[in-house]
Amino acid sequence: MSSPPLVWLITGTSSGIGRDLALAALSRGDKVIATARGRSVSKLEDLKNAGAATLQLDVTSTLEELHQVAKEAIGIYGRVDVLVNNAEETTPEETFDQFNTNVFGALNVARAFLPYMRIKKSGIIMWIGSVVGWQSLPYGGLYSASKWALRGISDTLNDEILPLGLKSVCIDLGSFRTAFLGDTQRGPPVSRIPDYQPLTDIVEARFQADNGKQPGNPAVVVEVLVDLAHGTGPIKGKAFPTSINLGSDSYSVAKKASEDALARLEEWKAVSYSTDFEK
């Protein structure tokens, strides 16, 4: 028996994984509300032609404004079953801009839609994290830190909403062959401090070398996300995860980070225990 159609609201659908995910959900017979910022909403015409409803949604809007957008979105199909926090800032902006989009904005979007999900006592919030939430990323530390933050937010939120019938999951994506590293998606390389220039040059060269050669297939990963929402395909029979690493590189990086953490804990175990009161 196939699972019933779901209603998705996906932020950042003008390109990349967000757009592909919208099309994948539509192809399964689901309903999709595709959103983008004002300057990008015109790029959603193809999704509209494919059957998606479209809305302008800027995750950096005030919470009051997002509540209005949520009300409008719920009015389209009467509910939202899967909220995908996909919008992100990829240019090398200042700290506040990076976190305002990736973290604070995503939090406010969740705040705006959770009241409707709580009423019907079902729903999934997907946070689009990254492999860099598991490793240091010189020259991209703020972006990396914002993705670390999403995993912590999602884990805690899941504990809070699970008793209400809701779920939260952080999707830590590896490198997928999208336009993410393209010139239209990123600002020009910036190095304000000469001491860091050699490192900046190395990392930027690696970005350019990887562009168009990423191992991850966007067409496959979005199908996995739709299966995750429906509990079908390779997800069937598995417990719903609080986080999932998609892409061989994401798996490998997270596995090594976990093993390194366990080794470090064991090495320092005696020192850790030594700071307790004597029993």
The residues carrying an active-site annotation are: 143
Closest CA to 88 of 75, 74, 72, 104: 104
- Cβ atoms within 10 A of the Cβ of 148, count? 16
Q: Is 133 strand, coil or helix?
A: helix
In the chain, which ranges are continuous DSSP H helix? 16-27, 45-49, 63-77, 95-99, 106-120, 141-161, 197-210, 218-230, 248-267, 269-274
Distance CA 43, CA 41 (A): 5
Q: Which of these, 148, 39, 151, 145, lies nearest to 95 by C-alpha position? A: 145
**Residue 131 to residue 169: CA distance in whole angstroms:** 15
Tokens of 18: 């967000």
Distance, CA of 10 to CA of 8 (rounded, Å): 6
Q: d(Cα 81, Cα 214) in Å, to the nearest integer? A: 31
The residues pairing with 244 across neighbouring beta strands, listed in sequence order, are 171
| Phi, psi for residue 49 in degrees, rounded to 5 | -65, -25
Q: Do the beta carbons of residue 174 and residue 246 sit within 8 Å?
A: yes
d(CA 179, CA 182): 5
Cα(117)–Cα(119) distance, rounded to whole angstroms? Answer: 5
